[in-house]
Amino acid sequence: MNSIEIITKKKNKLELTKEEIAFMVNEYVSGNIPDYQMSAFLMAIVCNGMTIEETIHLTDIMIQSGETIDLSEINGKIVDKHSTGGIGDKTTLVLAPLVASCGVRVAKMSGRGLGVTGGTIDKLESIAGFQVEATKEKFIEQVNTIGVAIMSQTGNIAPADKKIYALRDVSGTTESIPLIASSIMSKKIASGADAIVLDVKVGSGALMKTIEDARSLAHTMITIGAHYGKPVKCVLTNMNEPLGYAVGNGIEVIESIETLKGNGPTDLEELVLTLGSLMVSIALDCTKEKAIHMLKENLQNGKGYEKLKELVTYQKGDMNQIEQDPYISIKSPKSGFITKIDANQIGEVVKRLGAGRMQKEDSIDYGVGICLSVKVGDFVLENEELVRVHFDGQDISMQEILDCFTFSQDAPEKEPLILEVIE
């Protein structure tokens, strides 16, 4: 068995055996297959796809490349949540404490980001003193004590995926449903949850640009979950404009706090309630209607916010000290309805400000970001504020930011946030 024969077989659209896939993955992780050959293999998968059997094999091989976490010492059913990533996606920061306030155990292992802004862990580190590292024993102890923990994912969960993901990021092989599905599901299954709720983003600011591709990804991940006896539910959500108003790290944490106080953006609240209702109904074996009622009640009575404070305090953070750079206000050049806010372009501007990483070794500026003052469908007057740009001396192009907005004299038809729920 050799790598060139396997690459050629996939190039010719033939189905690979588990042994052939394992050879490519394990030999690459061991350093015996060079980057250029693995890149060719990944590109063959991007061009020709994989069967569901091949995708399950790839998932299993990546799970077996590292350790799996046993969460059986945590009382109650563990339901994990994962997002495929989007602009302004701070959902976990609101969702985890709110769901935990309803009596559900939330054991969340999150990652850092190579993309537009940091991942959940990076956002939390914008809170002064917040500790994201813990032993497995301390992690389980915290969940059993206060009901929720958000920790950095251990480096030995699916290490094969970690190495392959880094190569995909620099070789133009990120947009492949089998590669995305196996990457997500290998980490989720290895992390020990009993069930998984997935937020699959669709649109200009997401990996999945069409709802057809998003459905395909969702069904693939549901099938993989079923193979491992893990119920998986997917929510397809609109990412044609940023989620909420804040896009950055520290400013997203601040927006999350305001949401738990009952003052958040309606779209972020809607998404949290949709995902949360699935998590609570699975964990507590109740109807989604009852779950939504519990979640709404704990948003209004402050229990969700109190649980966030408990979480931050337990992990040594200080919510009175969250990084946020000074801002300048950019005004509208004309009057009219906002018909489009280019989520992808907003994300690129924020990344260049320093909120995200170009390479995994890069440091993040937690205080920079863009906070929108308007959403699609709003009417603005000339010289009314469009955005606030938080930065600390970086060069910015006001015109580039203004180009993210499209104006019209006619009110647009508002797109729904929740496109589909696949159970």
pLDDT(308) > 90: yes
Q: Are residues 238 and 376 in the same domain?
A: no
Q: Are residues 34 and 86 in the same domain?
A: no
Q: Are residues 195 and 288 in the same domain?
A: yes
Does residue 300 lie within any of the structural domains?
yes
Does residue 142 lie within any of the structural domains?
yes
Does residue 9 lie within any of the structural domains?
yes
354 vs 258, residue with greater confidence: 258
Q: Using the CB atoms, write b or e for 340-373: b if 16+ within 10 Å.
A: ebbbbbbbbbbbbbbbbbeeeeeebbbbbbbbbb
| pLDDT computed for residue 359 by the predictor | 66
Q: Are residues 227 and 308 in the same domain?
A: yes
Which three-class secondary structure state does DSSP give residue 225? Answer: helix
* Stretch among 164-173, 197-206, 308-317, 374-383 having the lowest mean pLDDT: 164-173
| pLDDT computed for residue 241 by the predictor | 95
- Please give the Cα distance from 388 to 326 (Å, whole number): 9
Q: Are residues 347 and 290 in the same domain?
A: no
- Please give the Cα distance from 64 to 12 (Å, whole number): 28
pLDDT(114) > 60: no
Does residue 208 lie within any of the structural domains?
yes
| pLDDT computed for residue 204 by the predictor | 87
| pLDDT computed for residue 113 by the predictor | 66
Q: Are residues 298 and 359 in the same domain?
A: no
The residue assigned the tokens 């024993």 is 137
Average pLDDT, the chain: 94
Q: Are residues 42 and 161 in the same domain?
A: no
Last residue of a domain, one of 314, 345, 360: 314
Q: Are residues 280 and 339 in the same domain?
A: no
Q: Are residues 244 and 300 in the same domain?
A: yes
pLDDT(165) > 90: no
The structural domain count of the chain equals 3
The CATH number that applies at residue 349 is 3.90.1170.30
With bands split at pLDDT 50, 70 and 90, how would you rate the model's confidence at 155?
low
- Please give the Cα distance from 375 to 243 (Å, whole number): 10
With bands split at pLDDT 50, 70 and 90, how would you rate the model's confidence at 394?
confident
pLDDT in tens, 64-111: 999 999 999 998 999 999 998 889 999 999 999 999 999 999 999 887
pTM of the model: 0.93
- Please give the Cα distance from 95 to 208 (Å, whole number): 23
Distances (CA, A) of 179 to 25, 52, 55, 276, 280: 12, 11, 8, 27, 29
Residue 372's φ and ψ, nearest 5 degrees, are -70, 145
- Please give the Cα distance from 324 to 390 (Å, whole number): 7
Does residue 176 lie within any of the structural domains?
yes
Torsion angle defined by CA atoms of residues 255, 291, 241 and 308, in that order, rounded to the nearest 10 degrees: 20
pLDDT in tens, 166-199: 899 788 898 899 999 999 999 999 999 999 999 9
pLDDT(112) > 70: yes
| pLDDT computed for residue 205 by the predictor | 84
- Please give the Cα distance from 303 to 297 (Å, whole number): 8
pLDDT(232) > 80: yes
pLDDT in tens, 9-29: 999 999 999 999 999 999 999
Last residue of a domain, one of 271, 290, 314: 314
Does residue 423 lie within any of the structural domains?
no
With bands split at pLDDT 50, 70 and 90, how would you rate the model's confidence at 360?
low
Last residue of a domain, one of 314, 337, 372: 314
Mean pLDDT of 115-133: 88
358 vs 274, residue with greater confidence: 274
Q: Are residues 90 and 29 in the same domain?
A: no
With bands split at pLDDT 50, 70 and 90, how would you rate the model's confidence at 318?
very high
pLDDT(115) > 60: no
- Please give the Cα distance from 343 to 207 (Å, whole number): 12
| pLDDT computed for residue 1 by the predictor | 87
The CATH number that applies at residue 204 is 3.40.1030.10
Does residue 366 lie within any of the structural domains?
yes
The CATH number that applies at residue 27 is 1.20.970.10
Q: Please answer whether residues 233 and 291 qualify as being in contact, where contact means their C-beta atoms are separated by less than 8 angstroms.
A: no
pLDDT(357) > 80: no
Catalytic sites, residue numbers:
82, 161, 168, 183, 187
Q: Which helix (H) or strand (E) holds 246?
A: strand 246-248
Q: Are residues 295 and 333 in the same domain?
A: no
Does residue 62 lie within any of the structural domains?
no
Q: Are residues 362 and 282 in the same domain?
A: no
| pLDDT computed for residue 116 by the predictor | 64
Range of the domain at 276: 79-314
